[in-house]
Chain A
């Protein structure tokens, strides 16, 4: 892996190209990436590109610069896959996909999430319309979730604010969900457009709007709305 060209691997996917970047300094990697594309510009022109950046933690400015650089070369970036939660979050902010349909070769079986406290995603901001947060664990939002925003979590979702968008928890537990999941959603104001726990969709939720903080869970084939309070 010492040779520079080995730092970037290219693979064809069903719906575009996947480039996997090795470890290295981001500025250099980006230069290398652009150089490779420029060298074979006819091959890359018009391509749909997914990028696997490994553990790189990228800021918004870096990804948007990358995207602009790629679009100047007529390559459209549609996904950024990463091990770094920071990068995943950034990519989602910019409206890029963070998962590709093909299983990543290095991916290990993910442990079932409930009880996996390490994997909570911490978001201190308002999630606005068009934002989609996907996370393989719990999600904590300090702020509102506005109409048009979506959270898809394999674990639970806690919202210290108003929930007016869509939330889907227990996403990994599609099968036999109703009995085992125990996934829940908490919000200071519970007024979601759509709320799904595992395979069950709470409907209608609107009438359940309450002034008090609420916790919604699904047990024994029924949705439970209860006041959200400390134990």
Chain B
């Protein structure tokens, strides 16, 4: 259980993290999402006690990171942005040293190190010098280091940066399997990663929490209903007239005439449960305007993210509007 209370980090006059509060339950996979420079790493560094907060506190399993740093740090395994490895050591040497630093009794050290290497699949690399390993393997050594001592909470800062697609998939699977036993927090600016792996997403921008909810809820909330995309061959005003007979349409955008397709691209937002596709087909057919294409889609997390972070940019000066524009920001039931 992690509670972050009104966390603030100020560098000079700049707020890297500005009043962040949330609490995380055990046994879930959490995703920190935010553009570069949003304060993800700073937040993680404060949660793990690497840097101290300007104000606010982080409580880990009942231990404040400021007042009882040692107890709190025992519950955490941390992989920072750059894997903190000693290049002149071999993989097994390095992990043994970490086990020693984490106060694993000498008799258990060997098995603990072997387990960690097995989990991240680097056993065959154990006698290689870390400086000779590829980026992907170094990253895994970093993760293995975080796993040593079976901490309750595992925090991984951008674990897939710089890896090839194969490795990314492997790390994702690893994170998913870790989520069965541990609380895992990963940060990323890659949305697919978060939406695929995490149960719960915290979107951060400019050092503030702009949304916090489960992945599905976020997508649902921002969909504001279904979206339909159409390509209609006909006159613009005729299209508008036809569409106006549908009360379920919340929003309607008609783009400029597409010369190639010889049709108007139309984007519709429809109230949640309404399915007007058949009605549209009939209406346009009777008006003699062929629908060349029609597809329905849900709003993706990516759009949620873009929406939220764009709002911030517009309202940078006027922070009060953000909260009302972002459902989920108050949800602290977690």
Bound together: no
Residues of B at the A interface (CB closer than 8 Å) are none
